Amino acid sequence: MIDIIKKSIYFGLGSISATKEKVEQIVDEMIEKGQLTKDQRAKAVKEIMDEAEKKEKELENVIRSSIDKILNEEVQVATKKDIAAIERRLWNIEKKLDVK
């Protein structure tokens, strides 16, 4: 079963948007090669799909973290919080100047 997990990891990395049909095809090939029995098919498909989903979420988190780091540290894009703070300061200045 460890071999199945390894193959599912490689599959997940190679094709993040793995479809159930593709996973079933791979598992069927493994059955034909004698690497799995027909009784193990449903469990193997589920394990591979679960692992692919897990890897997809991990990759998504890495990408999101990298984008946040680039935007905040390198490009220094203003966040919603930064803009809200500027708007409050502007509102306070306008209030003091009695701008309408």
Q: What angle do CA 27, 5, 17 make, to 5 degrees?
A: 70
27-64 confidence digits (pLDDT tens): 999 999 999 899 999 999 999 889 888 888 888 888 87
- Residues 56, 23: contact at Cβ < 8 Å? no
Q: What is the mean pLDDT of the chain?
A: 82
Spatial separation of the C-alpha atoms in residues 36 and 48, rounded to whole Å: 13
Q: What is the pTM of this model?
A: 0.54
